[in-house]
Amino acid sequence: MKVLICDATAQAALDMISEAGIEVVNKPDITPEELLEEIVEYDAMVVRSRTKVRKPVIDKAIKLKAIVRGGVGLDNIDVKYAGSKGIQVLNTPSASTAAVAELAIGYIFALARNIHQMTISMEEGEWAKKSFSGTEISGKTLGLIGAGRIARSVGQKANALGMRVIAYDPYVDEAPGIGMVEALDALFSSADYISMHVPYTKETHNILNAEAFEKMKAGVYVVNCGRGSTIDEDALFDALKSGKVAGAALDVYTEEPSMGHKLYTLEQVIGSPHIGAGTAEAKARVGTEVAKNVINALKA
């Protein structure tokens, strides 16, 4: 049995798989063209967010029994088509919860206190003590769009910081410490901060659009450490320019990699290159879960 590692995966995970008697071929920089040529040889494949597993790849993968995604979202995999071919699609939903939740909370702090802007000012040799006026997050309302595992972790941390937490999720009736609202409009009209925690689907495509921004409180802050394409980036740009949105923090984008994006011409936007799960601890947990999934799928 052979497994193809298509994206960077912890060495400890590769060792676990090898020790189980499965041959590991580690090609973390494999191109789409190379993948089409090679996948025919493998019983399982491991991907993160970089590698796309669509119909052409699945059609070539005549021996494939499992696709293992190191991470939460499965939007880079054609799950339904894989299932129709008898291929299991597995992920590691809990391994990166703490890392992503902490990044979202960190961004809320950074937006509230203008940390990025002040750092740039200091780097330019300024002492602009009177130029930056931040706000406190205690007493503010955090609106979570989505109430899954990561959102609940963000809510728990926000509660501890004195924030009021509300959430909209049509698939969740209640969550500890979170006030569930029945409509997005109710969240838009109440939230001082909005944090995105939904998968990318047809229903969530650009769920934050121009109309949604119009319904929000003036001066709202938006954080997205969830999935790209859930925010209409052009509408967000306009809302930031108008001042309707006071600031935004982004870890995910409609197109990735996202370089030279016009949103980053605005000083009130901060961000990162999709590194929500990028902690040493999360990588280790993801690796362990990936290895277990591969072993269970091929040794069952």
**CATH number reported for the structural domain that contains residue 71 in this entry:** 3.40.50.720
The pLDDT of residue 75 is 86
Determine whether 116 is an active site residue.
no
Phi, psi of 224 (to 5 degrees): -130, 100
Tell me the HSE value of 176 on the side-chain side, using a 13 A CA sphere: 8
The strand ranges marked E within the chain are 2-5, 23-26, 44-47, 66-69, 88-90, 141-145, 164-168, 179-180, 193-196, 220-224, 245-250, 269-271
Same domain, 107 and 206: yes
> Tell me, what's the pLDDT at 72?
85
- Largest CA-CA distance found in the chain, in angstroms, rounded: 65
Based on the domain organization, do 121 and 82 belong to the same domain? no
Measured from the Cβ of residue 273, the count of other Cβ atoms closer than 10 Å reads: 13
The ranges of the chain with pLDDT < 50 are none
Q: Alpha-carbon distance 252 to 92, whole Å?
A: 19
75: left (phi over 0), alpha (psi -120 to 50) or beta: alpha
End-to-end CA distance of the chain: 12
Question: Is 256 noted as a catalytic residue in this protein?
Answer: yes
Q: Are residues 130 and 80 in the same domain?
A: no
Catalytic residue among 23, 34, 203, 256: 256
Are residues 41 and 128 located together in one domain of the fold?
A: no
Asked if 84 and 220 sit in the same domain, the reply is: no
* Token digits of residue 157: 């941390």
What's the DSSP call for residue 93? T
Residue 112 shares a structural domain with residue 257: yes
Whether residue 119 is found in the same domain as residue 7: no
Full domain range(s) for residue 295: 2-95+280-299
Residue 49: what pLDDT?
86
Tokens representing 166 are 């509300």
* Integer angstrom CA distances of residue 64 from 6, 22, 240: 14, 14, 46
**Three-class DSSP category at 223:** strand
3-state secondary structure of 230: coil
Q: Which two tokens stand for residue 251?
A: 């870890």
All residues at 6 or more sequence positions from 109 whose CB lies less than 8 Å from its CB, including other chains: 115, 137
Structure tokens at 65: 């029994």
Considering the domain architecture, whether residues 54 and 154 belong to the same structural domain is answered as no
Co-location of 194 and 241 in the same domain = yes
Q: Are residues 52 and 172 in the same domain?
A: no
135-176 pLDDT, tens digit per residue, is 999 999 999 999 999 999 999 999 999 999 999 999 999 999
**What is the number of other CB atoms lying within 10 angstroms of the CB of residue 260?**
6
Question: Are residues 44 and 110 both part of a single domain?
Answer: no
Per DSSP, 4 falls in state E
* pLDDT at residue 299, as a whole number: 85
User: Of these residues, 227, 233, 285, 289, which one is catalytic?
Assistant: 227
